[in-house]
Each structure stands twice: as structure tokens, then as C-alpha cells.
């Protein structure tokens, strides 16, 4: 049961961080406005797909997780 408790605490901490990021998303510079992000705006239609931002965030998160796993094995 201790493992389940730790997992729930970790999940709660991740949810708090995601919530804070969503609250301050507009104030993060360049996020969602990188060259290569697709933004089509027509008269009654707007489509936005942040492909480059998604790739950059994926690389950052992968690097952080790799560092955590690297240092936790030592």
C-alpha cells in the first residue's frame, strides 16, 4: 500500500504542475509561436497546429526523463 500512496502523491504533484502550466501558458515566451507552427486563419475558420512546439517540448521532456533515470541508477 505504501507504493500506491507514493504513486498517488506523485500523480497529484504532476497534476499541480500541469495546472500551473495551463494557468500561465499565455505568459511563457515563444511557446506556440515558433517558426514551423501551422496557423491558418480564414473568414469563419481558424486552425492552429503547433508541430514545432510539440517536437521541442517532447525533446525537452525526454531529456529530463533521461537525466532522471541516469542519475537514479547511480
What is residue 43's three-state secondary structure?
coil
User: Which residues contact residue 26 at a Cβ distance below 8 angstroms, ignoring those fewer than 6 apart?
Assistant: none
Number of H helices, E strands in the chain: 2, 2
Q: Where are the domains of the chain?
A: 1-28, 31-74
Tallying the residues shown for the chain, one arrives at 74
**pLDDT for residue 74:** 64
**pLDDT for residue 45:** 93
Residue whose entry in the numeric block shows the C-alpha cell 514551423? 36
Q: Please give the chain's pLDDT, 74 residues, in tens.
A: 777 888 888 888 889 988 887 787 667 676 677 888 898 999 999 998 889 988 988 999 899 888 888 887 76
Amino acid at each position: 500500500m505504501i507504493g500506491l500512496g507514493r504513486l498517488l502523491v506523485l500523480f497529484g504533484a504532476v497534476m499541480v504542475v500541469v495546472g500551473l502550466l495551463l494557468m500561465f501558458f499565455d505568459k511563457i515566451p515563444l511557446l506556440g509561436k515558433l517558426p514551423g507552427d501551422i496557423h491558418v486563419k480564414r473568414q469563419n475558420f481558424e486552425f492552429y497546429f503547433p508541430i514545432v512546439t510539440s517536437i521541442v517540448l517532447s525533446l525537452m521532456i525526454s531529456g529530463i526523463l533521461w537525466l532522471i533515470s541516469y542519475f537514479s541508477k547511480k
